[in-house]
Amino acid sequence: MSPLAVVSLGQNAVTITLLLSAPLLITGMVVGLIIAIFQATTQIQEMTLTFVPKIFGVMLALLFFSSWMLIKLTDYTQELFINIPNIIR
């Protein structure tokens, strides 16, 4: 197995990881930003106020993006299994 193949496998793994985690992380960040702006304008400094909306937002994003995430993960795994003979050489 050449070093180029190892780097390519690692790059593909990192890319698919970032691609799958991006919708959930971006949703959490946007909800957190909205809550932070709300807290700044109303001067409510309750720490627990940020957790519940973030959890609901991430869960809704997970429900919305789960089919796409599953398709991407299945395609990546299928491509990886197909390329096993090429990797072993």
pLDDT tens-digit readout, 56-87: 999 999 999 999 999 999 999 999 999 888 88
* pLDDT > 80? residue 4: yes
With bands split at pLDDT 50, 70 and 90, how would you rate the model's confidence at 33? Answer: very high
pTM metric for this prediction: 0.82
DSSP secondary structure letters along the chain: --HHHHHHHHHHHHHHHHHHHHHHHHHHHHHHHHHHHHHHHHT---GGGTHHHHHHHHHHHHHHHHHHHHHHHHHHHHHHHHTHHHHH-
* Per-residue pLDDT at 48: 81
C-alpha 53, offset from chain centre: 18
